[in-house]
Structure 1
Amino acid sequence: MANKSTIRKQVLKERLALSDDEFLVMNQLLLAQFKTLDFSQIKSVHFFLPIVRKREPDTFLMIDWLQENYPEIHIVVSRSNFEDHSMSHHPFSKEDLKENSYHILEPQTTTVFEDEIDMVLVPLLAFDQKGYRVGYGKGFYDRFLSGLESKKVGVSLFEVQHEDISDVHEDDIRLDFCLTPKQIYKW
């Protein structure tokens, strides 16, 4: 068992140590796993956009594939409010993205996506065998996911590295699935 702070440091270090080739291959494998998900009942998918300098998984590959193969599915991305740690959700457009001061690409439109979100791709650094995740520790996604009926899908470059996270909080939201380069975990 390890705590979130220790896991954060360890996994971020491992991600940053990946070679460009390893990172590319892992992202292609993640895309292959993403393609196996069932989109038959999905009308909208919320994506996180990768923080490149932190070697987050390249969700643009998944967005491009989804737009090509399921053009009827709405793609939604968020803009973060760092004062209250909330997020607003907006229709995706590559031309509308701009990097904020935290190096996160965000939509600039004021148009808010009002419909239900059927699936949320959730960023993480690590996850345990129960489906709990370690993020960056600000709680943006736990607040967003609280009360949502959406499928919660983590995206990880690494397999389960911890049997249990020692400091899971009662407000932490469990994932339904987690995509990794080798498999999809289900809870």
Structure 2
Amino acid sequence: MLKNNFREKSKKLLKEHIKFKFKRDFQVFKECLKIIKKNKAKKILLFIPLKYEPNLFKFRRLLSKNCELFVPFMQDKSLKIVKFRLPLKKKKYEVFEPNDSFFKVKKIDLAIIPVIAVDKNLKRIGHGKGFYDRFFYDLNYKPLTIFVQSVNMFNNKNITDFYDIQGDFYINPYKKYYRKEIINDNNNCSFYNLNRTWIRIFSC
């Protein structure tokens, strides 16, 4: 119940956010670009935004200079990856997609994913349809994952389910979070220390 209540609260805030035009898309994109460069990611999964999501797509020309861009394509109750190409068509849930493609992408390096909210474990609350959850569950590898949003809807409680996907970063124009993973290798810890404004999320 907490998850659904927080989802509805977040949706309401996001819709108000459009009205007052507080979005700062470039600020979100700039932080994503730092992570892409630091990790030398070349194959990027990017989303085509809804009205209240950060529009990183307008910076795609900058990304495409050094990266291949892919977008999610709804297929049954899950997603598949298709190469970005025009034209885009509006599909169900007001989502824009390119035409279907039979080209198979073996592996992506990094995924940038919109969220409705994020909980203390850096797990994603989406629209409740489960498309991204099923997609990531079926992958046999885990790409670096960045959650993005136009407002800060971080909940400092565990309100997600076991099947909700977990991100490595959560970026919005107001705060930035990353997950510190504990690695069982001589008690060494690995984490991203991009700058002092990042807030670490601990997870075992």
Q: Which has the higher contact order (CA 8 A, sep 6+)?
A: 1
C-alpha separation between the residues in 2 aligned to 1:97 and 1:164? 38
1:72 counterpart residue number: 66
Q: Secondary structure at 2:152's aligned position in 1?
A: coil
**Cα pair 1:42 1:119 within 8 Å, conserved:** yes
| CA RMSD, 1 decimal | 1.9
Which 5+ residue runs of structure 1 have no aligned equivalent?
A: none
**Cα pair 1:124 1:134 within 8 Å, conserved:** yes
Q: 1:34 and 2:41 equivalent?
A: no
Give the one of 146, 171, 179 matched to 2:163.
171
* CA deviation string 1:102-128 (max 9, x = no partner): 210111042334221110111210112
Which runs of structure 1 show a deviation greater than 6 angstroms over 4 or more consecutive aligned residues?
A: none
Which 5+ residue runs of structure 2 have no aligned equivalent?
A: 180-204
C-alpha separation between the residues in 1 aligned to 2:59 and 2:2? 31
> 6-15 or 101-110, which moves further after superposition?
101-110
2:62 is aligned with what amino acid? W
Post-superposition offset of 1:8: 1.4
* CA deviation string 1:68-97 (max 9, x = no partner): xxx23110012112xx4111211112x231
**Cα pair 2:119 2:157 within 8 Å, conserved:** yes
Q: 1:101 and 2:89 equivalent?
A: no
Aligned residues: 175
1:90 counterpart residue number: 82
C-alpha separation between the residues in 1 aligned to 2:100 and 2:66? 21
**Cα pair 1:33 1:179 within 8 Å, conserved:** yes
Identity %: 23
Which of the two has higher C-alpha Rg? Answer: 2
1:22 is aligned with what amino acid? F
